[in-house]
Amino acid sequence: MRFEPRATVPLWLILSAPIAAIILAFLSCSLLILWTGSPVWAAYGALLRGAVGSPFALSETLTRAIPLILTGLAVAVCFRAKLWNIGAEGQFYGGALAASLLGTAGLSLPRPGLVLVLLLAGWIAGGLLLWIPAWLKTQFQVDEVVTTLLLNFVILLGISYLLEGPLKDPLALGWPQGRALAESALLPRLIPRSRLHAGLIIALLAALGVWALERFTVWGLEMRAVGANPEAAKFLGIPVQGVILYTSLLGGGLAGLAGVCELLGLKGYLTLDLSPGFGYTGIVVALLAQLHPLGVVGAAVFIAGIYVGADTMGRSLGVPTYLADVIVAAALLWMLVCMGLARYRLRWD
Amino acid sequence: MTVNPSPPSEAPLALKVVGISKRFGTLLANDRIDLELRAGEILAIVGENGAGKTTLMNILFGHYVPDQGQVWVFGRPLKLGSPAAALAAGIGMVHQHVVLADNLSVLDNILLGTQPLWHLWSRRQEGRQRIHTLAEELGLTVDPDALVGSLALGERQRVEILKVLYRGARILILDEPTAVLTPPELEPFFQTLRQMAGRGLGILLISHKLQEVMRISDRVMVLRAGRVVMTGKTAEIHPTALAEAMVGQRLPAVVKDSFAPGKTVLALQQVSCGVLEQVSLTVRRHEIVGIAGVAGNGQSTLADLICGAIRPHQGQFHLYGQVLRLISPAEMVRHGMARIPEDRHKTGLIGSLSLWENWVIERYRDPEFSRWGILRHRQIYQQAHTWLQTYDVRGLQSGDPRQALQMPVQLLSGGNMQKVILARELCRDPQVIVAHQPTRGLDLGAVAYVHAQLLAAARAGAGILLISEDLEELLSLTDRIAVLYRGQLSPAVPTQATTLTDLGLRMAGQEVADAV
């Protein structure tokens, strides 16, 4: 048995790889469901119902997909230029913190104006948080995997301090949470009596924007070139360090935007459980999407659906909800296998 | 399977290959190849890049499994697809790029992996003795206790050959063995080959260089597009016929016109940088200046310096008669210098990017190709297609041009990659061209093409600096030649006043008595 590289990979094969990966992930996880003693078919039925089975379920899935699309983009953009951004979680909170500070500062702006200002502030905060590791990388060759990862804890602990201390809402009955934002700062609901908010539009626009940026602009070309072969890019006259720096502002900004959308769309005040690891899940989203910005949307909706559906599965059949994590992880692993099979041909000798 | 009864006049058949075919996707890399090698014989396998030589060697050595065909070694069928089986059968391979551990001694490198783990030390003396005997018999003199890192490339190659022989190889496959040798090292190397053949080893020699093949081999086999197109006794084949069999057509001879050189376009004055010491150099319009030298004497530093990749510590860099203060790759691109780097894969192209992206990669900021940061795809496609077609890049002649331009450049052959670089660098009518090993690893047809393009550029008025290890190339193309030896550049002498032997000696660091 051996592998041979394919000369060209047809598009249908690239597109069918993720579908095959998802099917294989479900198949392999059905063993775990059997282990819990529940019928596999009913469990997956419950999962599907919980994810997309009703307008409400669908709206919940899409709501959960919003931050995942944005953090997925944040990671995908950086990985494309080989800037290993593991810090989307920190950038997410950085963005949320900036928006929370400005949103509770009593700015008197009409609705769309204030939202735009907060989005911009979140973008800048997230961007700067990634710019620092990127700058260290370009100047002193500091490994950004380490710095971005560790910055997450710095930011989380910092926010924890702020919420226990200076930013604590005195009306929150002692809970560590920030003050509520002004009404005009909140994102409107897209569907009444659901939680789905206008962040979805922002996320979709961001995905389209990143796609267009990568495809149609000189910056996209530069990012691809630097990511594919930094040495050649430098020799060919591309300002490699500059490219890494603006990529960091773009990627970090998108993660910051995710934080702002979550803050303005759902809670309206800053807490420490604003993100159940959206930044880290963003890495899975980006890899599952093969770093393609439009693929990120699909991958984010899929993963959001699994998480939301797993709650229903857990409630109705008693299957542990953390099975969602296992399914997502299995999907990623199978994705690697399937992409490998798409790029290579398996030969039996 | 019976052992081939060999006629008394002939040595036993060491290697017999029957009907080997290997397909990669749509490419038929080996098409029903038959081959016979007798003990004591040197068989040269020649062919252009992509002719299937390497595939065949990899099949023999067990790296690839052929789709069809069989191999016998000394009358026994060889289990294909297993390097261990090939080694056990006595097939030894010396790769083009020496693979040795620099931090170990020669002895340890040879013994590495040949002894059982738990008594490595007890057999050392025995191993040393065997290596000594082998080396004595074949004239492969090398100090067994020297660190491999301290050896010259030629010596390392000897270690590599010893290593293979130590493991009991009876068939030796040598992949482009002379690529790392200086001209003075060639003669002893050929003698070693003869001696090894004399001891009954079957030798398969893969080579590009026709003169060497003509000199050393007993028989020659020519591969083209995966097929055997010619085999025969070397003594009975004319070199021209061999070259034509390789290419499949008549090769145009290099015609070099002479021009009166014009203004100086590129000059280095007393530049020191890394290994380079006080290097001075001028290149004038209409002129091709060659830099000869064995790899590792400072060529890469010189090329990087002129391409803007590194800055000089000392000295002045003049371009178009003006001192260059800012030295960076982007600056050289801005000045319209055409740069053909040594390594197509590492610096010349970005493999996973498409043809059009690689073509426009130095100029995408030009208003012609982008406005307000938006790429003007239509103009880029149009120009890229025109120029890549002008420079004869394969795969653009038919079909949808947009589709063809999306192909990742890494799927092209070496020759076509070089044409992409030429199309990018030469389409702007450059005044200065720096070409570092522009024909390395290319097949004869592509070499002729690159040479023709460089000559055409010189005719059009460019000043060209050609850094090469191929002396024939330097002698046939350049107007003046300088030799780089241990970071020192000799003054450039007119090419007509120098000879191959002369250059060879100077490359080895020997002073030549001035005959002129």
| B343 is a domain residue | no
> Averaged over B114-138, what is the pLDDT?
72
Q: What local confidence, expressed as pLDDT, does residue B252 receive?
A: 59
Are B68 and B210 in a shared domain? yes
Percent of chain A at pLDDT above 90? Answer: 55
Contact A231 B346 (CB under 8 A): yes
Contact B25 A7 (CB under 8 A): yes
Show the domains of chain A with their CATH numbers: 60-308 (1.10.3470)
Residue type, A339: M
B434: distance to nearest CA of chain A, Å?
A: 13
Are B102 and B191 in a shared domain? yes
| B1 is a domain residue | no
**Looking at chain B, how many residues does it have?**
516
Q: pLDDT tens-digit profile of B138-178?
A: 777 778 788 887 777 777 888 888 888 888 888 888 888 87
Q: pLDDT tens-digit profile of A19-56?
A: 898 899 999 998 888 888 888 888 888 888 888 888 99
| B438 is a domain residue | yes
SS3 B489: strand
Bigger pLDDT: B205 vs B5:
B205
Residue A8: Cβ within 10 Å count:
11
The CATH code of the domain that includes B81 is 3.40.50.300
| B448 is a domain residue | yes
Are B64 and B211 in a shared domain? yes
Q: Rounded CA gap, A201 and A265, in Å?
A: 12
Helices B444-459 and B414-426: crossing angle in degrees, nearest 10, is 10
CA dihedral B180, B181, B182, B184 (to 10 degrees): 180
A346: distance to nearest CA of chain B, Å?
A: 12
Q: Of A2, A218, A225, which is closest to B373 when you measure between CB atoms? A: A218
SS3 A79: helix
Is a pLDDT exceeding 80 seen at residue B506?
no
By CA distance, what is B411's nearest residue in A?
A: A7
Q: Rounded CA gap, A128 and A245, in Å?
A: 10
Are B67 and B107 in a shared domain? yes
Bigger pLDDT: B102 vs B202:
B202
Number of domains composing chain B: 3
Q: How far is the CA of A146 from the CAs of A249, A291, B75, in angstroms?
A: 18, 21, 59
**Looking at chain A, how many residues does it have?**
349
Contact B332 A237 (CB under 8 A): yes
Are B320 and B354 in a shared domain? no
| B379 is a domain residue | yes
Is a pLDDT exceeding 80 seen at residue B430?
yes
Tell me the β-bridge partners of A4: A345
Report residue B116's pLDDT band, with 50, 70 and 90 as the boundaries: low
Sequence-distant contacts of B330-333: CB under 8 A, at least 24 apart: B330/A237, B330/A238, B330/A239, B332/A237, B332/B306, B332/B307, B332/B308, B333/A236, B333/A237, B333/B362, B333/B363
Question: What sign does the dihedral A161-A162-A168-A172 (CA atoms) show?
Answer: negative
Are B24 and B45 in a shared domain? yes
Contact A349 B81 (CB under 8 A): yes
Q: Residue B474: which domain range?
A: 252-337+430-516
Place of tokens 């803007």: B308
| B58 is a domain residue | yes
Q: What is the ipTM, given to two decimal places? A: 0.83
CA dihedral B430, B436, B438, B441 (to 10 degrees): -160
Report residue B234's pLDDT band, with 50, 70 and 90 as the boundaries: confident
Are B287 and B380 in a shared domain? no
Are B231 and B329 in a shared domain? no
| B135 is a domain residue | yes
A126: distance to nearest CA of chain B, Å?
A: 24
A6: distance to nearest CA of chain B, Å?
A: 6
| Interface with A, mutate which of B356, B361, B434 (most A CBs under 10 A) | B361
Are B60 and B160 in a shared domain? yes
| B19 is a domain residue | yes
Are B483 and B410 in a shared domain? no
Are B93 and B208 in a shared domain? yes
Are B195 and B231 in a shared domain? yes
Q: How far is the CA of A264 from the CAs of A115, A199, A250, A282, in angstroms?
A: 8, 8, 21, 20
Strand pairing report for B42-47 and B27-38: unpaired
Examine the fold and report which residue of B224, B247, B270 is the final residue of a domain before the chain moves on.
B247
CA dihedral A198, A201, A206, A209 (to 10 degrees): -150
Contact A7 B27 (CB under 8 A): yes
> Averaged over B216-245, what is the pLDDT?
84
Report residue A283's pLDDT band, with 50, 70 and 90 as the boundaries: very high
By CA distance, what is A224's nearest residue in B?
A: B353
